[in-house]
Copies of this chain bind each other. A is one copy, B any other.
């Protein structure tokens, strides 16, 4: 059945989550498949640990990362699904555009 099930919202939320430099770099860092703690992700960031935490939660609400508390630290990991969704959304947009181009071409060459 696959309920909407909270954890991968629509493309809008995903794009919004990607639309911030800090978040985008956190995500690309995590997309290497390794899992990282907040402290780790906070080094080389100029920002406070708290700020990073907030960004991570935004990413999490958008379904782009998931976290597990292990011992005293919580490990964050990349989740590929929403990116795939976003990608196919953009695919559809540019597909529509390509169609339009094709139609125009056909019209002109007639």
Contacts and interface: CB of A to CB of B under 8 A. Distances in A.
Interface residues of A, number: 34
Contacts of A103: 33
Given A93-B31, A96-B32, A19 B17 contact: yes
A12 B20 contact: yes
Identify whether the interface residues of A are mostly helix, strand, loop, or mixed.
Answer: helix
Name the residue in A93, A94, A101 with the highest tally of chain B Cβ atoms < 10 Å from its Cβ: A93
Given A87-B90, A87-B91, A94-B83, A101 B33 contact: yes
A27 B15 CA distance: 14
Interface string A4-38: 00000001111111111100100110011110000
Given A87-B87, A90-B83, A19 B12 contact: yes
Interface of A: 11-21, 24, 27-28, 31-34, 78, 80, 83-84, 86-87, 90-91, 93-94, 96-97, 100-101, 103-104
